[in-house]
Structures are given as structure tokens and as C-alpha cells.
Amino acid sequence: MPTYTPPLRDMQFVMHEVFKVSDEFKAMPPHAEVDVDTINAVIEEAGKFASEVIFPLNISGDTEGCVLDKATHEVKTPTGFKEAYDQYVEGGWAALSCDPAYGGQGLPFVLNQCLYEMMNSANQAWTMSPGLSHGAYEALHAHGTDEQKKLYLPKLTSGEWTGTMCLTEPHCGTDLGLLRTKAEPQADGTYKITGNKIFISAGEHAMAANIVHLVLARLPDAPKGSKGISLFVVPKFQVNADGALGERNPVFCTGLEHKMGIHGNATCQLSLDGAVGTLVGQPNKGLAAMFVMMNAARLGVGNQSLGLTEVAYQNALAYAKDRFQMRSLSGPKARDKDADPIIVHPDVRKMLLTAKAYAEGGRALQIYCTLLLDKVHSHPDEKVRAESEELVALLTPIVKAFITDNGHISTNACMQVFGGHGFIKEWGMEPFVRDNRINMIYEGTNTVQSLDLLGRKVLGNNGATLKKFGKLVGRLVEEEGVNEKMAEFINPIAMLGDQMTKFTTEIGFKGMQNPDEVGAAAVDYLRVAGHLVFGYMFARMAQVALREIAAGNTDPFYQAKLQTARFYFAKLFPETATLMRTARAGSKVLMDTDLALA
């Protein structure tokens, strides 16, 4: 059976030593009193909840799954899930980073990020239920009416109610302009929503008293396409003016998807038959409002794969130390045994270090992005808020696509460490692989994220935001460029930073001649950009580690960090050269293939 230990030391290193988040918080009035001790105390308790309460339910939840009673349309979640959710609510975890005006604790998003990384390591399927509620909360907080906020936000904040996002329909996934769900206005100002939605995570369950569905639908006079989409809040149980629950709304689960992974979460087919809802935001402007929720979800999905990468790595490392197979190529290491532990073999170490590097790089990027979000919401300087928002918008598709792709690589590598045992259910490794696979697909496939990055976030403003990130890289290069001990970490990002300008310009020029050139290059481009971002993160971590060692700190953590950074730059970062070459190969070898694909 697998085990899990919250990576508190690495979280503390990234927050306190690399990004010095408590110093950053001093400039943000809502968080000015959040110090190192407070941060450590919160994440330590969060780690206990993740490892002691929901991790023990992961394997059983995967085996048991969710069950739909077709007569009542009710969904039974795996044994123990509701009780764990009750503990989550009682512990105040749902309210951690929510607005105090609605009962939240008002703590920084950085802390919520660490909580959710650990919960995703412990049990992604369970964590998806409260995780989606945060997206619903954010959308209503940003675009809801005063009445909607009063009715829904206190309960979403406390966790007494959960939330969903209802976008996808049987005939349309990413192309939401094709959706057919209808919203008929009523005399009392409400709307009756009719249609069918699919792939609705946590769309039905009994873990909470109510489920707040955010539903995309069309008004009768709506224009075609994405410009005719409106957003509605449609609760499972209607909510009276005093906040008490009223009649059951006709939004029912008609089927559960039979999935490769995340069995413990109910992925529902929902039928809305005149369900009563209220408009969120402006008519026909629903997609803009929903993007608040979608962008939060995209960062959350990256966090899911980060969590799975970490837990898979921990278990593969423990197995590699205990499993004895063959002798080391350079001579016996465990002379008192008949064989050596497999961790002595170079390729086993490569697989382990791949997962470790992608976990540590992903953790640094996620904490950096949530620190940016804290600045967006809480910094008094308008310029800082605007620049932080611009930067996090650039990094969001990288978080979603690069970290989830890396999670696929890492969980598969960790399962491979187990050899045949990794393919067997009782060892608990294959669920990590299966659960991670959905992360590359939903909230916009990773190809969609790549098109968003290259087409909208980079070429859309002629690379202006990318240049701003490049300045961060350049500042670090200038600061450490003459430090010989930093050369192995600085030189690669300095070189790639220079190459990115020419690489981007070349693709942009070709794309002006033929838009398919952007589509052909986008996935490779995002991965190159992801390595530039990870390289920057590892260089900053190496910078701190070297300074600590130079100051006489003998904690092996810092040497370990340098070893991981060296591995990353030597074995993983160099794929950028191949990726740039394949991106430059263009669209012709893809599109001029009618005979090959006949």
C-alpha cells in the first residue's frame, strides 16, 4: 500500500527562502500580519488533514467508486468521503482564503495552494469536490449580484454547499459557441433552464446540503456563437430569501461516466428540465464571467498533477531503496546481500529524479503564481496589481499544460520503477497514472492551452508579456552572470531566453502567412516556454542553496536541491533544442497528409 508524507520542508523553502512571501505580504494590508510562524502552523495542520484523513480513503475510493440510483437520481460517494468532507468543513479549510465579508479567514492564496497540493497528493478524486467550489465562489464573487453573493457566498465559503461548473454538452466540448441549453426569462426575474450537460465533476452527491451549479445557456434572442452565451446560477435546491433551502430544482443526474480514473468523484450527465436559475453578470456575457472560474480551475488542475507527481515520487523512491535486483554495473554496493537495491542503477535514478525535478519545479511555479494572485487581489499599488495579473495570465496555460504533461511523464516513470508490481493494483501506483491522465484533458486540453499561450498570450500582444518575464530572467542573469558556481544554472536560461525572441518572431511571421503554422508549433512552443519558466525557478532555488552552503549551513537539503537542479538542467532542459527544431518543421508535414490519413 502507498504512503504519503507532506513535503513541508520544500514548501517552506520555496515560500520563505526563495520568494520570501511573508515580506511580500507586508506590502498587502489584508495579509500584513501573516508571518512565517503562521504560515508554517497552517500548512502543518493542512498536511495532517491530507495525510491522515483523506489519503487513507484514496485506494478504497478508487475501488468502490460512485454509484447512481437511477430511480431517485441520487449518487452515493465512496465510504468515508462524506465524513471526511464534514471534517474538512469543521476544520475551516474551505474558508481558508475566502473573503472575511462572507465568513472566510482571508488568508493568502499561497496557503490555499499548499493545502490543495497536499490534498491532491492524498486523494485527487475527493479533492475535486471542494476544489470546484472555489471556482464557483470566485465567479460569483467577481460577477454576482449583491443578492446572489448574500445567498450563496457564505455557504460556499463555509463549505456547507459545494459548487460546479456546467459547460460541456454532448455535442460540444471546447467549442462552447455550439451549446444549446436554453434559458427562458420569467416574470419574476428568474429563468427556466433546459438542456443537457455532460462531464460535470461532482455534479451530484450527498456530501453537502446543496450544490450550486453555474450553468452556461442561451437566452431566446441570443446571437449565435460564443457571443450569445449567458451564465446562470442554478442550485440543486432553490434558496429562499432568508437563505433556507426550498424546493428541489429539476436538475438531475441521469448517468455517471465510466472513467479511466478519478473513480471516487461523480462525473455526471445532468438534465435540466426547467430548472430555476438567476442570471450572473450581463446577458450574452457569460463566457467572460465563466473564465474567472475556468482560469482558477486551470491553475487547480496543474496543482492536481503536481500533487500526484509528488506522491508517486515518494512511493517509487521508497520502493527503489527496498527492492533488490541484480548488481550495480560498477560493482556490488550491498555486499551482504545477494543483489543491490535498484536505486543504484542509473536509469532508475533518472526516473526518480525526473519526478523529483518536475515536482519541485512545479511547486515553485505554483507558489509563484499564487503569490502573484495575492498581489492582484491585495496589493495597494495599481501598477503592481496590473503587472501581476498580466504575468499570471501568461503563466496559467503553462501551469495547466506543462505541469500536467510532466505529471504524465512522472507518474508513468514512477510506476515503471516498480516493474511488474507497478501494473498490479495492490501496490497502489497505477491509480496515480490513471487519475493524472484526465488532467491533460479537462479545463481545455493541453493543445488548447498551447494555442492560448502562443496565439493569445504571446502573439496577441506581440510578445510584450513574454518580454516582461524575459526581464525577470535577464535580471537574474545579470545578478549572477559572473558567479562561476551559478554558471551551470544561469547559462542555459540565458541562452534560451535569447533564443525565445527569435523563435517567437519566426513562428509569428509564418503564422501571418498561414495560421496553421501556429497550430503546428503551439504544443512544442508551450513546452519550450515551460522549460524557460522551470529553468528560472531552479536557478533561483540554486541561488539560495549556494548562498546557504557558502554561509556554512550543513543541512543536506541544500546539497540535495543543487543535485536536483543539476539533473534538471543536464537531462530534462535540453529537450528544448529538439522542441524548437520540431516546431520549426512547420505545418506542411502535418496538413499535406490526406493520403496518409485516408
Give the residue numbers marked as catalytic: 443
Which residues are within 8 A (CB) of 575 and not within 5 positions of it... i.e. 6 or more apart? 527, 531
Q: Under DSSP, is residue 209 helix (H, G, I), strand (E, B) or coil?
A: coil
Bridge partners, residue 67, by sequence? 76
d(CA 346, CA 352): 10
List the one residue out of 261, 307, 263 whose CA is nearest residue 61. 263
One pLDDT digit (tens) per residue for the chain, 598 residues: 899 999 999 999 999 999 999 999 999 999 999 999 999 999 999 999 999 999 999 999 999 999 999 999 999 999 999 999 999 999 999 999 999 999 999 999 999 999 999 999 999 999 999 988 988 999 999 999 999 999 999 999 999 999 999 989 988 877 776 789 999 999 999 999 999 999 999 999 999 999 999 999 999 999 998 889 999 999 999 999 888 999 999 999 999 999 999 999 999 999 999 999 999 999 999 888 777 777 888 999 999 999 999 999 999 999 999 999 898 888 888 888 888 899 999 999 999 999 999 999 999 999 999 999 999 999 999 999 999 999 999 999 999 999 999 999 999 999 999 999 999 998 999 999 999 999 999 888 999 999 999 999 999 999 999 999 999 999 999 999 889 999 999 999 999 999 999 999 999 999 999 999 999 999 999 999 999 999 999 999 999 999 999 999 999 999 999 999 999 999 999 999 999 999 999 999 999 999 999 9
Q: How many CB atoms lie within 10 A of CB 446?
A: 23
C-alpha cell at 250: 429539476
Q: Under a CB-based contact definition with an 8 Å cutoff, are residues 151 and 239 in contact? A: yes
List the one residue out of 200, 222, 252 whose CA is nearest residue 72. 252
H or E segment and range at residue 595 = none
Q: What is the pTM of this model?
A: 0.96
List the one residue out of 393, 327, 388, 313 whose CA is nearest residue 358. 313
d(CA 336, CA 344): 15
Which residues are within 8 A (CB) of 573 and not within 5 positions of it... i.e. 6 or more apart? 492, 496, 531, 534, 535
Q: What is the pLDDT of residue 332?
A: 87
Which residues are within 8 A (CB) of 529 and not within 5 positions of it... i.e. 6 or more apart? 398, 402, 453, 466, 500
Q: Under a CB-based contact definition with an 8 Å cutoff, are residues 280 and 140 in contact? A: yes
Q: What is the pLDDT of residue 389?
A: 94
Which residues are within 8 A (CB) of 122 and not within 5 positions of it... i.e. 6 or more apart? 4, 50, 51, 54, 55, 58, 307, 311
